[in-house]
């Protein structure tokens, strides 16, 4: 537009000074500018595109094929067009990258009327997450470089990569509410399907408790004794507050916390126990639903920015997968852990206060934390004093840090376990002997 305005001003001056040659030149330049603008606009609207990807979920290590189909539906040949399928900023800054790319997702090409072309590339899933792939952005312009236009051709797709699960060798978290269908020292419930013996009838025993065969044999009323048992299971609490992770250790520590949570949930599922998840992190699906994505026809940079997640979130609603026994429970928890993002909303102490009423008392509370301060220790101690069985998995590398973080928790009567690296996940739930 500025070139057209400048040419018109020069034309007016040339006409006022009766400079015929300059007037002719300005007419030619203005004509070229308008034709270039019109041609660029037509080229921008003459391309159709479709992204083909039949994979919505994947595991770490999987390759996901993505195909882009382009077709020129206009009547004029396009001398050049740049097509790029955007990826979220930050996916490639670590080694290995969260999503590796094999093939070309950006290409410059020319198109004849009716011609079709394709782009093909593969995504290597190296880390769990909920990833936005796209939008597909087109850039084109006239041959003189006077006009450039941009257009978002397709909406983005979203790929869910499940967290890694490590097989836990043995699960023996000792507490007043042990994991498993086992006899318990501290009675929570009596299982009417498991008779341990009989005793003499006591006043107040319900009729359903009377053992009629023993009564007939002895001639005196006898009552059944049931084994005290329970399906204890666990509620896994994952601290995903942004301040809980040191920048130098990221994304190693946050990913290790997710791997440990998924592995514990898998062990409980295989044992047929109830399991649930609580976290102060942010659900990536909620982020996309609330913030959405935007595409801008004016600049490719703006379209690129539409693929960038917000750095901060003041989320105050905890992520909860209710603790229950269900064949689909591990799938629900794995999906939520895959979509979990760090947030600067609820801190761990605030999370405990928020969700304590929704955590079943017959389930062990396993808290996975990377940093422990006095406030968090008091909150977890308060949970234990309310009658919950609480254990903590401390996610740090050095023994010195583990000793520092364990002190306030041990003072509150909470047993701690050291999550040093991925190799320790397999043995994190083994029985501990205190000396």
The answer to whether the Cα torsion of 148, 153, 155, 160 is positive or negative is negative
**Residue in the block written with tokens 């609490």:** 237
Can you give the three-state secondary structure of 249-299, one letter per residue? HCCHHHHHHHHHHHHHHHHHHHCCCCEEEEECCEEHHHHHHHHCCCCCCCC
Strand extents, DSSP E, 31-113: 47-52, 57-59, 63-72, 78-87, 99-103, 106-111
Q: What is the pLDDT of residue 12?
A: 77
Q: Please, which residues bridge with residue 236 across strands?
A: 277, 366
Q: What is the pLDDT of residue 186?
A: 43
**Is 429 strand, coil or helix?**
coil
pLDDT 10s digits, 374-422: 999 999 999 999 888 899 999 999 999 999 999 999 999 999 999 999 9
Residue 258 confidence class, pLDDT cut points 50, 70, 90: very high
pLDDT 10s digits, 97-142: 899 999 989 999 999 999 999 999 999 999 999 999 989 999 998 7
State percent of the chain over pLDDT 70: 83
How far apart (Å, rounded) are the C-alpha atoms in residues 244 and 5?
56
Q: What is the pLDDT of residue 166?
A: 93
pLDDT 10s digits, 289-307: 877 764 444 445 555 554 4
Whether residue 73 is predicted with pLDDT greater than 90 in this model: the reply is yes
């Amino acid at each position: 537009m500025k070139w057209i305005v400048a040419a018109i001003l020069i034309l007016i001056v040339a006409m006022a000074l009766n400079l015929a040659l300059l007037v002719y030149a300005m007419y030619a330049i203005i004509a070229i500018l308008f034709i270039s603008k019109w041609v660029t606009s037509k080229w921008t609207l003459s391309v159709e595109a479709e992204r083909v990807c039949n994979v919505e979920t994947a595991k770490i290590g999987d390759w996901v094929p993505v195909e882009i189909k382009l077709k020129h539906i206009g009547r004029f040949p396009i001398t050049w067009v740049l097509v790029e399928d955007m990826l979220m900023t930050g996916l490639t800054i670590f080694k290995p990258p969260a999503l590796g790319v094999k093939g070309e997702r950006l290409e410059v090409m020319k198109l004849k009327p009716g011609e079709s072309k394709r782009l093909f590339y593969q995504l290597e899933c190296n880390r769990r997450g909920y990833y936005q792939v796209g939008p597909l952005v087109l850039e084109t312009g006239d041959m003189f470089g006077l006009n450039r236009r941009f257009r978002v051709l397709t909406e983005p797709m979203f790929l869910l990569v499940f967290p890694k699960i490590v097989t836990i060798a043995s699960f023996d978290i000792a507490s007043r509410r042990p994991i498993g269908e086992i006899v318990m020292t501290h009675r929570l419930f009596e299982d009417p399907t498991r008779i341990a013996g009989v005793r003499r009838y006591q006043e107040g025993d319900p009729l359903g408790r009377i053992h009629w065969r023993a009564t007939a044999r002895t001639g005196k009323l006898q009552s059944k004794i049931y084994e005290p048992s329970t399906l204890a299971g666990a509620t896994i609490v994952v601290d995903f507050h942004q301040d809980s992770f040191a920048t130098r250790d990221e994304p190693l520590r946050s990913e290790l916390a997710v791997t440990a949570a998924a592995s514990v949930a898998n062990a409980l599922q295989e044992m047929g126990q109830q399991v649930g998840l609580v976290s102060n992190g942010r659900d990536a699906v909620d982020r996309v639903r609330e913030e959405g994505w935007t595409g801008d026809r004016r600049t490719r940079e703006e379209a690129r920015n539409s693929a960038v997640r917000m750095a901060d979130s003041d989320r105050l609603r905890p992520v909860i997968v209710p603790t229950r026994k269900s064949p689909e429970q591990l799938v629900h928890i794995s999906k939520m852990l895959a979509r979990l993002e760090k947030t600067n909303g609820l801190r761990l102490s605030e999370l405990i206060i928020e969700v304590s009423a929704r955590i079943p008392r017959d389930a062990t509370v396993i808290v996975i934390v990377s940093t422990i301060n006095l406030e968090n220790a008091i909150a977890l101690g308060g949970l234990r004093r309310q009658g919950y069985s609480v254990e903590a998995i401390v996610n740090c590398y050095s023994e010195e840090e583990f000793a520092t973080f364990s002190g306030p928790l041990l003072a509150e009567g909470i047993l701690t376990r050291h999550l040093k690296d991925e190799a320790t996940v397999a043995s994190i739930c083994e029985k501990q002997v205190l000396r």
